[in-house]
Amino acid sequence: MAKGYLKMVLELVSLLGGAENINFVTHCATRLRVDVKDSKLVHKDKIANLESVANVSQTEDGKCNIVTDQDKLEEVFSELKQTLDHKK
């Protein structure tokens, strides 16, 4: 369990419009991939300022790509997945 990232992940979920706005989350080698229901609820600029976030891009169809430190990606993803599982 990656408790060191819990605060960051809770803030990330909030900035993505809350757990109820997140359809699913996955990742690749360099980024978190988040599919959201309503992209207007996403605070992209604030997400970019989070610890360990290097860049954020967002498509009009509700997909967010959040580039994070590669050495922290798996732990952040794990904490995010656990957080979302507990909120649903």
pLDDT digits (tens, 9 = 90+) for 28-62: 988 999 999 999 999 999 999 998 899 999 887 87
Position 3 confidence tier, pLDDT thresholds 50, 70, 90: low
- Count the domains in the chain: 1
Sign of dihedral through CA atoms 40, 44, 50, 55?
A: positive
Looking at the annotation, which residues are catalytic?
Answer: 28
pTM of the predicted structure, to 2 decimals: 0.89
Q: What is the CATH number of the domain that holds 80?
A: 3.30.1360.60
Supply the DSSP symbol for 16. Answer: T
Host domain of residue 57 = 3-87
Supply the DSSP symbol for 31. Answer: E
